[in-house]
Amino acid sequence: MKKIQMVDLSEQYKAIKSSVDKAIMDVVSSAQFINGPDVKSFQQELATYLGVKHVITCANGTDALQISMMGLGLKPGDEVITPSYTYIATTEVIGLLGLKPVFVDCEPDTFNISVSAIEKAITSKTKAIVPVHLYGQACDMQPIMQIAKKHNLFVIEDNAQAIGCDYSMNGTLMKTGTIGNVGCTSFFPSKNLGCYGDGGAICTNDDDLAIQLRMIANHGQSKRYYHDRVGCNSRLDSIQAAVLRIKLKELDRYILRRNTAADFYDAAFENIEQLTIPYRANNTNHVFHQYTLKLSDEINRDDLVAYLAQKDIPAMIYYPVPAHKQKMFYDIDNKCGNLENTNWLTSRVFSLPMHTELSIEQQQYIVESVIEFINK
Ligand SMILES: *Cc1c(COP(=O)(O)O)cnc(C)c1O
């Protein structure tokens, strides 16, 4: 049996090797390393796939969030409502721009931002909400958009983990990342649509905002050497765009593979009392960026992870420390209370290997090993 990895990118590459190799070499021969034709084509192809008017590529998912917040004109002191239970990038850019993160709790079943907690956190200074579609399942966007409309707030979707996910918005299927004012994604290699280095993208249906976002990502430039506002330098390389054009065609198949693997785990674990399998909401599909289980209180998580490691099975804790408990945010007074669900989940979750190349044999071995430990 092949060594089990959290994410197996080399096996995935083998399946598309000849087209990827050719695409990369074509960029090298053309020498159009920056803003080559593949970048433009990829933006159009991704916009078509997502069903959105504008896609603006940039250097990584963190930049996508930062550029979005700059493009929406958020100013130091503005309050931004964000889940605490997320990857640090979401909340870090809020701090970086001098905005005030207002950390709210998540739902214990979906792990996603709690709609009722958002409402309670709104003040006269609130300017935006950042729903994060964690692990590959959409937040409940319909009520979130309603709240945003009622209070005149921007919605910035952090779609880094859920590209390709569908959400039923008033009965119409929409891709996550295209529902709020702006959606941000990452092409970090291990993401569901990953490139071979760093990359990111922003999407929006707002024509004026799209112009601003493009400008910000390119030194605030409106035409060559004319700079209208302070921006940054954030680009997707042509080589990465060429790789992404190929992988975008595979994305739906990748999502299916991830679901097949998730179904296998679900069937094996659903009757194990000490484990709670991922909840699947009925208004969204799950694209399983991660397969994350909840452990009951009597099981020692560290011991389980160590036991699996001994058997050459990697398991990860996403995320052991929520944002509101990170040192970088020690001076933020967390006015939304102690975030009970977030605190509990970060002590109880663990994620098993999840990728497009898992074999039944590998999954069988993982499942048996987890159950072995629980029954010890
Ligand atoms: C990966 C990720 C990001 C940041 O993406 P990078 O490309 O690594 O900068 C932001 N938010 C979430 C939820 C992520 O998982």
**Would residue 6 count as lying in a domain?**
no
The contacts of residue 327 (CB under 8 Å, 6+ apart) are none
218 and 256 housed in the same domain: no
Q: Is 62 in the pocket of ligand 1 (CB under 6 A)?
A: yes
pLDDT of residue 337: 78
- Of 355, 353, 357, 356, which is closest to residue 367 (Cα–Cα)? 353
Alpha carbon of 306 to ligand 1 centroid (Å): 27
**Would residue 16 count as lying in a domain?**
yes
194 three-class SS: coil
241 and 258 housed in the same domain: no
162 and 23 housed in the same domain: yes
282 and 206 housed in the same domain: no
187 and 308 housed in the same domain: no
- Interval 222-256: pLDDT, tens: 999 999 999 999 999 999 999 999 999 999 999 99
Q: Is 265 in the pocket of ligand 1 (CB under 6 A)?
A: no
* Residue 174's CATH number: 3.40.640.10
189 and 123 housed in the same domain: yes
**Would residue 5 count as lying in a domain?**
no
User: Which residue segment(s) compose the domain that 18 sits in?
Assistant: 11-105+112-245
pLDDT tens string for the chain (376 positions)?
999 999 999 999 999 999 999 999 999 999 999 999 999 999 999 999 999 999 999 999 999 999 999 999 999 999 999 999 999 999 999 999 999 999 999 999 999 999 999 999 999 999 999 999 999 999 999 999 999 999 999 999 999 999 999 999 999 999 999 999 999 999 999 999 999 999 999 999 999 999 999 999 999 999 999 999 999 999 999 999 999 999 999 999 999 999 999 999 999 999 999 999 999 999 999 999 999 999 999 999 999 999 999 999 999 999 999 999 999 998 887 767 789 999 999 999 999 999 999 999 999 999 999 999 999 8
Q: Give me the count of residues in the chain.
A: 376
pLDDT of residue 331: 86
Residue 60 Cα: closest atom of ligand 1: 7
**Would residue 343 count as lying in a domain?**
yes
**What pTM was estimated for this model as a whole?**
0.97
349 three-class SS: strand
**Would residue 197 count as lying in a domain?**
yes
pLDDT of residue 202: 98
48 and 135 housed in the same domain: yes
The closest residue, in CA terms, to atom 5 on ligand 1 is 61
Q: Which of 225, 245, 265 is the last residue of a domain?
A: 245
**Would residue 225 count as lying in a domain?**
yes
Q: Which of 220, 245, 270 is the last residue of a domain?
A: 245
Q: Is 86 in the pocket of ligand 1 (CB under 6 A)?
A: yes
Q: Which of 245, 268, 302 is the last residue of a domain?
A: 245
Structural domain tally of the chain? 2
Q: Is 12 in the pocket of ligand 1 (CB under 6 A)?
A: no
Residue 188 Cα: closest atom of ligand 1: 7
